[in-house]
């Protein structure tokens, strides 16, 4: 036990001696959390739009007016022909084009139906769908309005049909605040990146510098060695995590509906998995450069296949299976469930237990893979 | 020139000798693009929906049928009361719930207003919005067909999605992945390779040699430019053949700009390495410092237009942001230099800036 204690002390001294690293370890997560939390959003602010109005009537002008009134669209250009459409889209000058054809008003008056064309730049996917639904709802509202006000030719008034009264409700995040969703995710990402990098690089560095041999000739056991490498980073990561939670609560006001102790329980288990994995990488690579690339690869897979940014449900089946083995996925799911939805141990107990078991497994792997003797 | 060539040769040998690292460098980018091209998507499918139908009749059965038949949804539960729904929302086994009133058929027949309630798990606002949109579309259509609408006036919108008509996620994310992987790999490669020379003390030896600091930097970078370029080729071939990402623009232009971008990223790596005393600092800066900003501020996952104004300005200093506009422009939109010259110019400017800073940083260390 004393051996481990001294080694832990040595690691701490080593970390805190290197001012630049300490600076990086604490500053990078804090700054990025503060800045990037504002950026991680699919919200569509205001869409630059071009209207091609070949009709030029009061009805078509009314439509343009409704579009602008909704604040979601900014009509940047109002043209009589569609000559400039291609260029405006190509140049990213506008994201959406509404094309109102000739005889728009006439068709509505005579037939009660008239087409308009909506062209969207779908280069950025998700946005295009949202913009489309904005535009469609404005069109629907305007149709309903015209139905009441526009004098119609030849078409007999039909019986009033009562519209469908659909009440929608969004659970857990009614104000559609992206930060509630993304801040926990970013916190996890940053803790993971820092923790994994530091551990993955650690043993390889001792190996490269030759100090590993010095440790190897001491009487300490493999388990003591790995434990001594794990504990300092585990504590550091927990501190970073706590800072992140505090920022999330104080700066971004993320909800904490569930029990914080559960979050910490999960964090403790999760960090063992991540750091153990880092140590394992550190034992299998020869140079720091290699260690970094493997760590980078693992981090990429962890982050991009965890549901942090894009939902796991959208992935193909095989990727969902892979994601099941991803500790980040489970940890983020637990965090979001407890913080945002207020879930208790009965729902998140199993993933936490899974993380704990995985942690022990990874540690065992690192211990067996670590060789005290030089081949 | 001769000593310089010799130096380039030394660096190339360094790189080629270490087979394991070489393999990792060439393989990882392609592997990543392959995996993430499949796995990173935002389309929402297979939504678990619960339907509460207190009095099933012909109209509600028809609606249930329609929801079940859509490949967007699978009906996770049908019940006559809303009991237990809260718990299912909390543990995530249900993402959406549709609460029908009693005697739907009779109400429709009488012409009464029909009040439905649609509850959506909105914890992820984006997915929540999409799920709500899908369900609303099915409900609207059902209602229009069950209830005779007569001659209600309607403006019919025909939407066209330009450049990515099927909204295929791979077409969207693969160009982004190219930018992302290139940035990190290139910046990391040079940053570590220079920091390593410093850590092992061989940098001093290089600096006292008659080769000028600029030439040292250039010599370090050239082999990596070639390597980076091979990796771009592999990635692009994967994008074309596996994901069938369209290549509507000019291939030569795409390759040229990719080459330029590799140099930008490598130059960034040089700047990092001149500031970092050892490999650990260099790689934390390159990975922890670049990874999330490149992912989030470049438009790779989250659209730039969605960023708040100050962050949009901040995104201007992220090189990947400019490259991404170019790659998407060439691949998806078939744009040429006529529309993309500004972005290209920005990249050239950044590269020159990084190179100037990088070589100066090295020169100063001697003094």
Interface mutation vs chain B, best among A310, A319, A338, A351, most B CBs within 10 Å: A310
CA A81 to chain centre: 41
Specify the DSSP class assigned to residue B287: I
The tens digit of pLDDT for each residue in A20-50 reads 888 888 888 888 888 888 877 777 777 889 9
B185 contacts: CB under 8 Å, gap ≥ 6: A293, A296, B25, B28, B29, B228, B231, B265
Q: Write out pLDDT tens, residues B90-102.
A: 777 888 899 988 8
Confidence of residue A240 (pLDDT cuts 50, 70, 90): very high
The reported pLDDT for the residue numbered B367 is 38
The reply to whether residue A36 touches residue B114, judged by beta carbons under 8 angstroms, is: no
Q: Of the candidates A257, A263, A222, A217, which has an alpha carbon nearest to the alpha carbon of residue A241?
A: A263
Question: Alpha-carbon distance B257 to B249, whole Å?
Answer: 12
Query: Does pLDDT of A270 surpass 90?
Result: yes
At residue B352, the pLDDT reads 92
The C-alpha of A126 sits at a distance from chain B's nearest C-alpha, in angstroms, of: 7
CB-closest option in B280, B303, B305 to A201: B280
| Beta-strand relationship, B47-52 and B73-79 | parallel
Comparing A353-367, B19-33, B60-74, B317-331, which segment has the lowest mean pLDDT? Answer: B19-33
Whole-model pTM: value is: 0.78
Helix (H) or strand (E) holding B156: strand B154-162
Nearest CA in chain B to A322: B39
Mean pLDDT (whole number) for A2-26: 85
The C-alpha atoms of residue B320 and residue A166 are separated, in whole angstroms, by 43
How many residue contacts between A and B have a Cβ separation below 8 Å? Answer: 363
Predicted confidence (pLDDT) at residue B136 exceeds the cutoff of 80? yes
pLDDT at A125 over 70: no
Q: What pLDDT does residue A236 have?
A: 92
Residue B127 has phi, psi (to 5 degrees) of -60, -40
- Determine contact, residues B171/B340, Cβ cutoff 8 Å: no
The rounded distance, in Å, linking the Cα atoms of A266 and A258 is 13
In this predicted structure, the answer to whether residue A265 has a pLDDT above a threshold of 90 is yes
Q: How far is CA A176 from the centre of its chain?
A: 15
Question: Which of B:83-142 have CB within 8 Å of A?
Answer: 89-92, 111-130, 132-133, 136, 139-140
The whole-angstrom separation of Cα A328 and Cα A345 is: 18
Using CA atoms, how far apart are residues B77 and A351, in angstroms rounded to an integer? 24
**pLDDT given at position A233:** 92
pLDDT, position A153: 64
| Strand order across the beta sheet in which A113-121 lies | A73-79, A47-53, A96-100, A113-121, B154-162
**pLDDT for res B37:** 79
pLDDT of residue A154: 58
Collect all residues with Cβ–Cβ distance below 8 Å to A193 and sequence separation of at least 6: A299, A303, B287, B288, B291, B292
For A215-231, the pLDDT digits (tens) are 878 888 888 888 888 99
Residue-wise pLDDT for B149-199, tens only, equals: 666 677 777 777 767 666 677 777 788 888 877 887 788 878 877 888 877
Which of A281, A310, A315 has its CA nearest to residue A298?
A281
Mean pLDDT, chain B, integer: 82
Of A90, A170, A301, the CB nearest to B35: A301
Q: How confident is the model at residue A129 (pLDDT cuts 50, 70, 90)?
A: confident
CA distance B55 to B107: 12
Which comes out higher in pLDDT, residue B216 or B167? B216
Whole-number percent of chain A with pLDDT over 90:
17
Tell if the CB–CB gap between B119 and A171 is shorter than 8 Å.
Answer: yes
Digit-coded pLDDT (tens) for B338-357: 888 889 999 999 999 988 88
Give residue A183's Cα distance to chain centre. 8
Q: What is the pLDDT of residue B167?
A: 66
Average pLDDT of chain A, as a whole number: 84
Say whether B155 and A143 touch across the interface (CB within 8 A).
Answer: yes
- Report the percentage of chain A scoring pLDDT > 70: 92
Residue range B48-61: mean pLDDT, rounded: 89
With a pLDDT cut of 90, the percent of chain B lying above it is: 7
Q: Which residues contact A121 (CB under 8 A, 6 or more apart)?
A: A89, A92, A94, A95, A96, A128, B162, B163
Q: Which residues contact A42 (CB under 8 A, 6 or more apart)?
A: A126, A127, A130, A178, B125, B126, B302, B303, B306
3-state secondary structure A306-359: CCCCCCHHHCCHHHHHHHHCCHHHHHHHHHHHHHHHCCCHHHHHHHHHHHHHHH
What is the pLDDT at residue B366? 46
DSSP B50-107: EEE-SS--HHHHHHHHHHHHSTTEEEEEEESS-TTHHHHHHTTS-SEEEE--S-HHHH
Q: Which residue among A24, A164, A337 sits closest to B281, beta carbon to beta carbon?
A: A24
Name every residue whose Cβ is closer than 8 Å to that of residue A201 and which is 6 or more positions away in sequence: A282, A288, A291, A292, A295, B279, B280, B283
Helix (H) or strand (E) holding A47: strand A47-53
Task: Measure CA A348 to chain center.
Answer: 20
Coil vs helix vs strand at B47: strand
What is the Cα–Cα distance from A57 to A52, expressed in whole angstroms? 13
Residue A14 — pLDDT band, cuts 50, 70, 90?
confident
Give the H/E segment covering residue B117. Answer: strand B115-121
Of the ranges B92-96, B143-147, B275-279, the best mean pLDDT one? B92-96
Q: Are B207 and B213 in contact (CB under 8 A)?
A: yes
A53-57, A299-303, B122-126, B222-226, range with greatest mean pLDDT: A53-57
Residue A270 near residue A189, CB atoms below 8 Å: no
B-interface mutation test, from A63, A168, A254, most B Cβ less than 10 A away: A168
Interval B287-302 mean pLDDT: 81
Q: What whole-number distance in Å separates Cα of residue A186 and Cα of residue A173?
A: 18
What's the pLDDT tens digit per position in A142-179?
A: 888 887 777 766 555 555 556 666 677 776 766 667 78
Contacts of A210 in chain B (CB under 8 A): none
Q: Name the B residues in 39-68 with CB < 8 Å from any A CB.
A: 39-47
Nearest 5°: the CA angle B99, B105, B106 is 115
3-state helix, strand, coil in chain B (%, to 5): 70, 10, 25
Of the candidates A32, A42, A119, the beta carbon closest to that of B162 is on A119
- Between B28 and A374, the more confident residue is B28
- pLDDT at residue A278 is higher than 90: yes
State whether A116 and B193 contact (CB < 8 Å).
Answer: no
How large is the greatest C-alpha to C-alpha distance in chain B, in angstroms? 96
């Amino acid at each position: 036990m004393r051996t481990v204690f001294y080694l832990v002390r040595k690691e701490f001294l080593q970390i805190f001696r290197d001012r630049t690293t300490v600076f990086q370890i604490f500053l990078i997560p804090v700054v990025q959390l503060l800045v990037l939390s504002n950026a991680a959003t699919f919200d569509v602010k205001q869409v630059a739009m071009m209207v091609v109005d070949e009709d030029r009537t009061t009805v078509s002008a009314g439509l343009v007016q409704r579009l602008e009134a909704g604040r979601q669209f900014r009509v940047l250009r109002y043209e009589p022909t569609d000559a400039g459409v291609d260029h405006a889209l190509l140049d990213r000058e506008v994201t959406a084009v509404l094309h109102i054809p000739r005889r728009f008003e006439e068709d509505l008056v005579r037939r009660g139906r008239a087409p308009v064309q909506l062209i969207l730049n779908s280069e950025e996917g998700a946005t295009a769908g949202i913009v489309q639904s904005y535009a469609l709802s404005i069109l629907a509202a305007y149709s309903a309005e015209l139905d009441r006000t526009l004098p119609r030719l030849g078409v007999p008034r039909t019986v009033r049909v009562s519209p469908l009264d659909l009440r929608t409700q969004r659970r857990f995040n009614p104000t559609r605040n992206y930060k509630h969703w993304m801040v926990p995710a970013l916190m996890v990402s940053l803790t993971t990146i820092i923790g994994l990098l530091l551990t993955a690089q650690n043993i390889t560095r001792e190996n490269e510098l030759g100090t590993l041999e010095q440790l190897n000739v001491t009487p300490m056991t493999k388990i003591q060695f790995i434990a001594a490498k794990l504990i300092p980073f585990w504590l550091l990561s927990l501190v970073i995590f706590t800072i992140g939670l505090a920022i999330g609560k104080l700066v971004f006001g993320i909800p904490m509906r569930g029990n914080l102790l559960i979050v910490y329980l999960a964090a403790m288990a999760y960090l063992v998995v991540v750091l153990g994995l880092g140590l394992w990488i550190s034992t299998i690579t020869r140079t720091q450069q290699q260690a970094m690339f493997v760590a980078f690869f693992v981090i990429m897979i962890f982050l991009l296949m965890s549901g942090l940014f894009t939902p796991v449900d959208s992935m193909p089946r095989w990727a969902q299976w892979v994601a099941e083995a991803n500790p980040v996925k489970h940890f983020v799911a637990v965090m979001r469930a407890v913080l945002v939805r207020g879930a208790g141990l009965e729902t998140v107990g199993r993933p936490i237990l899974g993380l704990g078991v995985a942690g022990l497994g990874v540690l065992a792997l690192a211990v067996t893979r670590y060789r005290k003797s030089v081949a | 020139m001769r000593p310089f060539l010799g130096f380039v040769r030394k660096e190339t040998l360094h790189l080629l000798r270490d087979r394991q690292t070489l393999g990792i460098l060439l393989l990882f980018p392609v592997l990543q693009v392959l995996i993430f091209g499949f796995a990173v998507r935002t389309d929402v499918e297979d939504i678990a929906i619960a339907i509460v139908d207190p009095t099933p009749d012909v109209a509600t059965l028809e609606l249930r049928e329609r929801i079940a038949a859509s490949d967007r949804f699978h009906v996770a539960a049908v019940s006559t009361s809303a009991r237990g729904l809260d718990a299912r929302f909390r543990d995530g086994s249900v993402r959406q719930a549709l609460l029908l009133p009693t005697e739907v058929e009779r109400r429709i027949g009488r012409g009464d207003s029909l009040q439905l309630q649609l509850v959506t798990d909105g914890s992820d606002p984006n997915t929540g919005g999409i799920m709500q949109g899908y369900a609303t579309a099915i409900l609207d259509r059902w209602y229009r067909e069950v209830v005779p609408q007569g001659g209600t006036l309607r403006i019919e919108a025909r939407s066209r999605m330009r450049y990515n008509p099927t909204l295929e996620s791979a077409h969207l994310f693969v160009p982004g992945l190219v930018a992302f992987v290139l940035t990190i790999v290139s910046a990391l490669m040079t940053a570590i390779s220079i920091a390593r020379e410093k850590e092992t003390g061989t940098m001093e030896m290089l600096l006292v040699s008659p080769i000028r600091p600029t030439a040292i930097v250039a010599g370090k970078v050239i082999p990596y430019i070639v390597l980076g370029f091979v990796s771009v080729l592999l990635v692009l071939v994967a994008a074309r053949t596996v994901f069938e990402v369209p290549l509507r623009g000019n291939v030569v232009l795409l390759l040229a700009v990719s080459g330029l971008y590799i140099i930008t990223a490598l130059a960034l790596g040089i700047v990092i390495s001149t500031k970092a005393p050892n490999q650990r600092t260099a790689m934390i800066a390159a990975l922890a410092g670049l990874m999330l900003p490149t992912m989030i501020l470049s438009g790779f996952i989250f659209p730039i237009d969605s960023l708040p104004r100050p962050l949009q300005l901040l995104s201007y200093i992220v090189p990947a942001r400019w490259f991404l506009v170019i790659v998407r422009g060439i691949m998806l939109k078939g744009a040429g230099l006529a529309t993309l010259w500004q972005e290209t110019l920005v990249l050239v400017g950044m590269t020159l800036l990084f190179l100037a800073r990088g070589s100066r940083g090295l020169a100063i260390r001697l003094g």
